[in-house]
Structure 1
């Protein structure tokens, strides 16, 4: 019976596309998503961001602010294919939402503004997709805007993102006169009429025929350079058939050697149908991506995208709703049914699946089961958090969770009424459960509850979410950035002996530590430990204990108690006692020894810095440059285009608190800015002194 079902199951998997919409804020991601839902018949009215009628931006804060804050999953059908779509945020403060989404996607549509081209956050999300190996196609949006230019946008893709752009369309008309595209693969014209609800196919207009031939030839040459089979046909026939060209475009997209570029205007509903055709034709199905890899019993295993193998899924989002806790999962292998018991591998506890839901943003449709390749929400698991693995209890597997960035901004929060303190603690716990990039802790010195996140807006949204959920009234302190400390001059041969004798078995550990700055290229973790002890003077299990103790010591540095990064510690010598040495003793020696070494090192304070892109009218540039300089900004470049100036600078994050209001007042509301994390940089002495005295 199973053998008879397998061809049907395989066919169904090839007809699935799991993709996300990625872009800079305001590039039109949500509008593209809404038009896809409309074109596929999933909705019968076009949702508009400015009207607050979108399906995916359903949260009240999203509609009030006009931006996407939370990744929203929707599902639709096109040309016999099931398309599971995740609309991701574009603001840098919510980059972790994008990271968790990319972890479970097989492909993506990268949306670019036809006027602005590649913007800072576009570049950031593109690099995130690179890290996850997610194939992409590009959609150059807003071609109906004044100043829109497809070639300029494509050139910015080539220069800033470095893939080979494979432009498969030529616009018909420009700006307000943009009415359609020439499909360069099939050499046909696609025109939108009847209020842009229908597309008409026809011959290439006479005025564009020569240009279309030139661009088709250029596309063939680029593809032939990158694809061996296409090169063979091109050399033999001096051209490529539409079938060969489409097959080569599919292969180049899935290997990442090229990116197919389409164009249109989502707001005017121009270009959505060809975009959906490209999703089906070029982006991979769950069967086209490598099997998921995980660990089980200390060994690495693979699970194929097969409904008949043991179940395994990754939790990528948790949402507490009024009707229950929704756990969003990507099913990588096997089948899950209502009533099944699953294992949360990391927590080592079993959970029962009460319901399975096909998600349409804030609306849901009940399912009896979900199979490999599905993205669904389940109701029942009580403790699974984002990044958890759910699997069949008889076949445990632990999948690699998405990475979580360290928070960079903190605020102190407290309930206005002391009687609401417990309610606030519970509300903060729910926030941290839903969003792993939010961290809640208690300040050991002040006793305050501190909420940390990825930026001012991130924290504003979190606090507002508490208020809107009938939570307690909250007082919020001034934002503070998360500093780090690092070593600029190390020490060698620091000797530390840990000796404790208070009756019974004692503790003895002797270590000799060398501490030195860690070069940036030596590793990205910020801390490297190694041992050069010879002759077995310190057994290997004690070496590991010393390394663990050193990591414990990095939590608080000598300047202001901030985490320490950017150093290499070498265990160069040591000794043991035949009776009193233990792993605990050597861990304690590592922790206390490194703390003593850090006090002897020359250390400096690091502060988070961000790359800022400010777009203002030309007549406001002088004031903006002066303001950035006053905020300790380093100008890295500026350019002028169509009466608008774009200024790029690197600025300490702490100096940008309140900058949005200041910029609006300086530019009569016409200036905008975006930021992108740029790591850490040495803080001036005044800042170091201020943090040390807190």
Structure 2
């Protein structure tokens, strides 16, 4: 063996040995991480929190920092980052491209020997149901506020959702490094707009480019974040130039707390010494009761203020055992009784869980659940309380964004996921059906925007139906139906972005490009006044012919019944034999399917058959069917027709400062205001507006009310449309059918 060969072999052996050693280290590290995260903690050491805020306030960036500092991930990535990786919680390709959160994502991590389950929620109003169902199952939340934008429209919506589910929260003023950051203005808005009894527990040391660290007002020390990623905390004394401000703010904190907490209030009134522990205990008690909101500060992007916020989550937000969760016990013929669930982990009470989110994964439907009572092991059997179907648990997982980690058992307070469970969002699961227990379901807002949808290629219909079936099951605010009046498929959602995202997902995930468009309005045609008819249908072509004569009146129904069609047989004698009357009725109803003015259905008409004639041989039901159709055509030529349009009852809710704008917009859309109400700086306006004028209103309302306005709309009645609308509809129909008069054709050419 030459020296060169010996050196080559030695080098290869060295490399392989090194690789094996590295693999061992990696495997042991992964195994220790798995053991560390899979270990079940006592209920006092569990926190279930959500991170909610307005669009682009830094929720996902904050979650990324939390995962990094708790050791859950080894490297931080930015939302819409330059490295094309993207944030951990934005696992969908569309989320990474657009830089927005579309779906809420769950993860869990460890901090100071406490297990924290985190749900990162979207900020856009179009995905509000994701926030709704996350807050339904959480015990606490972090309300992130932008130091520049302050309390924005979606902050108000999130605040209302937290109030609905009685969720305690901490506030985190983020983005202090941005130009125009003003934490004092944000606190003022929290008190005035959100009605929070809030006070600082921290102050920033410098703003914008000068943001160096934070001051802890409770422990009266400054904290600086050193190291490449701010992972090293350096504690120091409060800077001299900020001593006066920090003392004032600490005094303000104690005052706000003493107003809502009896124990601290007594110490304050008796002028006794108030210790750090007294303040922390008072914050925890009042925060859980939702009577006080502690305000933290920092900048997640510049890695400042995240670790103290995590300490605040452990110190001030409740564990699952401190939150009262109720279920309803139902018995036949009796009112449901409210039952308090027991989350203690050492009890033998039956398992109760709520399915709050469905997601189609690589291995089938993934169902996210929150356990409220009892425990569940792999291999156990559970029942859906609504459908009473039995499910055997083959696999239990806990989620880390889109990655899954298997566990053998889950306890009260845990958030976990199951495979292969056929259920709907908001279903209750139990191990014993005898108790008849069910949890309160999730509030689902009604959709506000509708659009027509169709696959670009007719060959893609199978993929299209699969995509629609999946998305409507996952998202209760995404509705899909077929409009028989206009023969088109309609989808409804919370906004144009909502529907646009689903259209893009159909193309990416199901290879099915779709066309979205404005849906047609179901107009109707009716007569202005009664019109008589006398129509003879006669046909002879050898053999048995056709003979039928119908005489009567076609007249409009009163306005409150203008959506109906009526047929009345007023004949006397045998001029029209009774066996042919159904043929006349069928002929009238068949002609009503498509009007001759604009192609829409006829409605609000009464067909009164008064007389007629028949032939002993040539008359038949078909002949009278054709005679009735001819009679309607005759009335179309001689009668005066008009088009009816659907009128909607619209209810708008927005801040009082925008009332003038909202009324002006509805007037522009030919709306009639029927009433207004006002409470606590908000107004509710009721109006009646034609449906044809309501398209695009959701976007216009949001832009004119800084995103704070909301509206609901429901069908009210049919009413005659404006002459110009009728003229346009008739002209469009004539163009489509090629019956445009010569004068109009010449005008069009000129």
TM-score in terms of structure 1 length: 0.71
Q: Secondary structure at the match of 1:469?
A: helix
Distance in structure 2 (CA, Å) of the matches to 1:393 and 1:368? 20
Matched, 1:452 2:485: no
**Contact 2:652–2:684 (CA under 8 A) maintained in structure 1:** no
Distance in structure 1 (CA, Å) of the matches to 2:88 and 2:350? 34
- Measured at CA, do residues 331 and 481 of structure 1 come closer, stay the same or move farther in structure 2, by a change above 3 Å? farther
Distance in structure 2 (CA, Å) of the matches to 1:102 and 1:148? 28
**Contact 1:632–1:655 (CA under 8 A) maintained in structure 2:** no
**Contact 2:80–2:97 (CA under 8 A) maintained in structure 1:** no
1:656 offset after TM fit, Å? 4.9
* Correspondence for 1:311: 351
Unaligned 5+ segments in structure 2 are 1-38, 524-559, 561-599, 602-645, 658-663, 673-682, 688-692, 731-750
Distance in structure 2 (CA, Å) of the matches to 1:480 and 1:270? 53
Distance in structure 2 (CA, Å) of the matches to 1:355 and 1:270? 39
Q: Secondary structure at the match of 2:137?
A: coil
* Correspondence for 1:159: 192
Q: 1:240 aligns with which of 274, 281, 302?
A: 274
* Correspondence for 1:82: 115
Q: Secondary structure at the match of 1:273?
A: helix
**Contact 1:350–1:393 (CA under 8 A) maintained in structure 2:** no
Matching of residues 393-404 of structure 1 within 5 Å: 393-394=432-433, 395-404=435-444
1:407 offset after TM fit, Å? 1.0
Q: Deviations over 1:259-301 (max 9, x none)?
A: 0100000111100011001100000000000133223435423
Q: Deviations over 1:184-206 (max 9, x none)?
A: 11111111122322211111112
Q: Deviations over 1:465-519 (max 9, x none)?
A: 1111124332222268999xxxxxxxxxxxxxxxxxxxxxxxxxxxxxxxx9xxx
The structure with the larger Rg is: 2
Distance in structure 1 (CA, Å) of the matches to 2:201 and 2:720? 53
1:166 offset after TM fit, Å? 2.2
Q: Secondary structure at the match of 2:321?
A: coil
Matched, 1:605 2:627: no
Q: 1:187 aligns with which of 214, 220, 236?
A: 220
1:378 offset after TM fit, Å? 0.9
Q: Deviations over 1:38-77 (max 9, x none)?
A: 1111111112112151011111111111111101101111
**Contact 1:339–1:352 (CA under 8 A) maintained in structure 2:** yes
Q: 2:234 aligns with which of 175, 200, 205?
A: 200
Distance in structure 2 (CA, Å) of the matches to 1:627 and 1:326? 44
Matching of residues 123-522 of structure 1 within 5 Å: 123-195=156-228, 196-297=230-331, 299-300=336-337, 301-307=339-345, 308-381=348-421, 383-394=422-433, 395-478=435-518
**Contact 1:112–1:141 (CA under 8 A) maintained in structure 2:** yes
* Correspondence for 1:13: 43
1:424 offset after TM fit, Å? 1.8
Distance in structure 1 (CA, Å) of the matches to 2:720 and 2:73? 54
Q: Secondary structure at the match of 1:145?
A: coil
**Contact 1:432–1:440 (CA under 8 A) maintained in structure 2:** yes
Distance in structure 1 (CA, Å) of the matches to 2:357 and 2:717? 40
Aligned length: 538
- Measured at CA, do residues 55 and 398 of structure 1 come closer, stay the same or move farther in structure 2, by a change above 3 Å? same
Distance in structure 2 (CA, Å) of the matches to 1:687 and 1:263? 58
Distance in structure 1 (CA, Å) of the matches to 2:410 and 2:262? 39
* Correspondence for 2:695: 654
- Measured at CA, do residues 607 and 212 of structure 1 come closer, stay the same or move farther in structure 2, by a change above 3 Å? same
Q: Secondary structure at the match of 1:332?
A: strand
CA RMSD of superposed structures (Å): 3.7
* Correspondence for 1:30: 60
Q: Deviations over 1:228-285 (max 9, x none)?
A: 1001112223442111110000011111111010000011110001100110000000
* Correspondence for 2:76: 46
Distance in structure 1 (CA, Å) of the matches to 2:111 and 2:238? 26
**Contact 1:341–1:352 (CA under 8 A) maintained in structure 2:** yes
Q: Deviations over 1:413-458 (max 9, x none)?
A: 2223334324322221111111111111111213322111111011
Q: Secondary structure at the match of 2:270?
A: helix
Q: Deviations over 1:310-337 (max 9, x none)?
A: 1111011100012221100001111111
Q: Secondary structure at the match of 2:441?
A: coil
Distance in structure 2 (CA, Å) of the matches to 1:179 and 1:409? 46
Distance in structure 2 (CA, Å) of the matches to 1:425 and 1:11? 44
1:216 offset after TM fit, Å? 1.0
Distance in structure 2 (CA, Å) of the matches to 1:264 and 1:473? 43
Distance in structure 1 (CA, Å) of the matches to 2:242 and 2:47? 34
Q: Secondary structure at the match of 2:304?
A: coil
Unaligned 5+ segments in structure 1 are 1-8, 484-515, 517-559, 562-602, 615-625, 635-647, 664-670
1:302 offset after TM fit, Å? 2.9
- Measured at CA, do residues 11 and 317 of structure 1 come closer, stay the same or move farther in structure 2, by a change above 3 Å? closer
- Measured at CA, do residues 101 and 269 of structure 1 come closer, stay the same or move farther in structure 2, by a change above 3 Å? same
- Measured at CA, do residues 319 and 155 of structure 1 come closer, stay the same or move farther in structure 2, by a change above 3 Å? same
Which segment drifts farther, 346-355 or 259-268? 346-355
**Contact 1:610–1:653 (CA under 8 A) maintained in structure 2:** no
1:101 offset after TM fit, Å? 0.8
**Contact 1:482–1:607 (CA under 8 A) maintained in structure 2:** no
Q: Secondary structure at the match of 1:133?
A: coil
1:631 offset after TM fit, Å? 7.9
Which segment drifts farther, 371-380 or 391-400? 391-400
- Measured at CA, do residues 659 and 226 of structure 1 come closer, stay the same or move farther in structure 2, by a change above 3 Å? closer
* Correspondence for 2:99: 66
Q: Secondary structure at the match of 2:322?
A: coil
Distance in structure 2 (CA, Å) of the matches to 1:230 and 1:431? 51
Matching of residues 625-640 of structure 1 within 5 Å: none
1:135 offset after TM fit, Å? 0.3
**Contact 1:318–1:433 (CA under 8 A) maintained in structure 2:** yes
Distance in structure 2 (CA, Å) of the matches to 1:366 and 1:687? 63
Distance in structure 2 (CA, Å) of the matches to 1:331 and 1:244? 33
Distance in structure 1 (CA, Å) of the matches to 2:383 and 2:521? 39
